[in-house]
Chain A
Amino acid sequence: MMQPAHPSRFLPTRRHVIAGASAVALASLSRRAAAGMFVDLPLPGGPDSRQITTAFPQKGAMILQRTRPPLLETPFEVFDQGVFTPNDRFFVRWHWAVIPTEIDVASFRLAVRGYVNTPLSLSLDDILKLPAVELAAVNQCSGNSRGYFQPRVAGGEWSHGAMGNARWRGVRLKDVLDRAGVKAGAVQVRFNGLDEPVVAEAPDFMKSLDIDHARDGEVMLAYAMNGEQLPLLNGFPLRLIVPGWYSTYWVKMLNDIEVLSQPDTNYWTATAYRIPDTPHANVDPGQTGVRTVPINRMVPRSFITNVKPGATLPAAAVTEVRGIAFGGDTGVARVDFSPDGGASWQQAELGDDQGKYGFRQWLSRIAAPKKGDAVLMVRCTNRDGVAQPDTPNWNPNGFMRNVVEATKVAIG
Chain B
Amino acid sequence: MSRSIVPAGVVLVALLSPLPLRAAPPFELKSLQLDLPDSDRTFPDGPGADVINGNCLACHSAGMVLNQPALPKAAWSAEVDKMIHSYKAPIDAGDVPAIVDYLARIKGAD
Whether B14 lies near A355 (C-beta < 8 A) is yes
Whether the Cβ atoms of B63 and A12 lie closer than 8 Å is: no
B90 within 8 Å of A (CB atoms): yes
**Residue interface mask A156-184, B partner, CB < 8 A = 1:** 01000000000111001000000000000
Task: List residues of chain A with CB within 8 A of the CB of B29.
Answer: 105, 124, 128, 223, 229, 237
Q: In the complex, what residue of chain A is closest to B33 when comparing beta carbons? A: A102
With contacts A57-B35, A67-B39, A99-B36 taken as known, whether A5 is within 8 angstroms of B3 at the C-beta atoms is yes
Query: In chain A between 43 and 85, which residues have their CB closer than 8 angstroms to a CB of chain B?
Result: 43, 45-47, 50, 53, 55-58, 64-71, 81-82
B93 is an interface residue with CB less than 8 A from chain A: no
B5 to chain A, nearest CB (A): 5
Q: A residues bordering B, Cβ < 8 Å? A: 2, 4-7, 11-13, 43, 45-47, 50, 53, 55-58, 64-71, 81-82, 96-97, 99, 101-106, 124, 128, 131-137, 147, 152, 154, 157, 167-169, 172, 197-199, 201-203, 217-218, 220, 223-224, 227, 229, 232-233, 236-237, 243, 267, 271-272, 352-358
User: Which of A11, A133, A272, A353 is the one whose CB lies under 8 Å from B15?
Assistant: A353
CA distance A57 to B33 in the complex (A): 10
B-side interface mostly: loop
List B residues 84-106 near A (Cβ within 8 Å): 86-90
Complex Cα–Cα for A234 and B35 (A): 15
Would you call B30 and A229 a contact (CB within 8 A)? Answer: yes
B76 to chain A, nearest CB (A): 9
Q: Which of A136, A154, A203 contacts B86 (CB 8 A)?
A: A203
Q: Do A105 and B86 form a contact, CB below 8 Å, given A67-B39, A154-B79? A: no
Contact of A128 among B11, B27, B37 (CB under 8 A): B27
Residue contact A101 to B61, C-beta cutoff 8 Å:
no
Give B44 Cβ to nearest chain A Cβ, in Å.
Answer: 12
The digit string for B7-35, where 1 denotes a CB below 8 A from any CB of A, is: 00011011111111100101101111111
Query: Are B30 and A101 closer than 8 Å at their CB atoms?
Result: no
CB A133 to nearest CB in B, in angstroms, measures 4
B4's contact among A2, A152, A354, by CB below 8 Å, is which?
A: A2
**Is the pair B34, A101 in contact by a Cβ cutoff of 8 Å?**
yes
Secondary structure call for the A interface: loop
Given A106-B31, A167-B10, A203-B87; A157-B67 close (CB under 8 Å): yes
B17 touches A243 (CB 8 A): yes
**Also in contact, A45 and B70, with CB within 8 A (given A11-B3, A68-B38):** yes
- Distance (whole angstroms) from the CB of A206 to the closest CB of chain B: 14
Q: Which residues of B contact A7 (CB under 8 A)?
A: 3, 5-6
Q: Which of A65, A70, A236, A267 contacts B36 (CB 8 A)?
A: A70
Q: Is the CB of A152 within 8 A of B70?
A: yes
Closest CB-CB distance, B64 to chain A, in whole Å?
Answer: 5
Residues of A with C-beta under 8 A to B79: 154
**Which of B14, B60, B88 has a CB less than 8 Å from the CB of A134?**
B14
List 12 A–B pairs whose Cβ atoms lie within 8 Å, in order of A's numbering: A4-B6, A66-B63, A67-B61, A70-B36, A102-B31, A106-B31, A168-B18, A202-B87, A202-B88, A232-B34, A267-B86, A272-B86
CB contacts (< 8 Å) of B63 on chain A: these are: 64-67
> Using Cβ atoms and an 8 Å threshold, which residues of chain B touch A56?
36-37
Q: Which residues of A contact B67 (CB under 8 A)?
A: 47, 50, 65-66, 157
**Which residues of chain B are near A233, meaning CB under 8 Å?**
36
Which residues of the other chain, B, contact A65 by a CB distance below 8 angstroms? Answer: 63, 67
A47 to B, closest residue via Cβ = B67
Contact A355 B37 (CB under 8 A): no
> Which residues of A sit under 8 angstroms from B87, Cβ to Cβ?
197, 199, 202-203
Give bound CA distance, A69 to B75, whole Å.
Answer: 23
Interchain CA distance A301-B1 in the complex, whole Å = 26
- Residues of A near B71 (CB, < 8 A) are 152, 154
Residues of the B chain whose Cβ atoms lie less than 8 Å from the Cβ of A5:
3-4, 6
CA of A218 to CA of B63, assembled, Å: 37
Given A66-B61, A66-B67, verify A169-B21 contact (CB < 8 Å). Answer: yes
Q: Are A105 and B31 in contact (CB under 8 A)?
A: yes
| Given contacts A81-B3, A199-B59, A172 and B18 within 8 Å (CB-CB) | yes
Q: Which residue of A lies closest to B82 (CB)?
A: A154
Give A17 to B21 CA distance when docked, in angstroms: 38
- Most A C-beta atoms less than 10 A away, residue of B18, B63, B71, B89: B18
Query: Which residues of A are found within 8 Å of B35, using beta-carbon distances?
Result: 57, 101
**A200 vs chain B, min Cβ distance (A):** 8
Which of B6, B14, B41 has most chain A Cβ within 10 Å? Answer: B14
Q: How far is the CB of A199 from chain B (nearest CB, A)?
A: 5
Residues of A within 8 A of B68 (CB): 154, 157
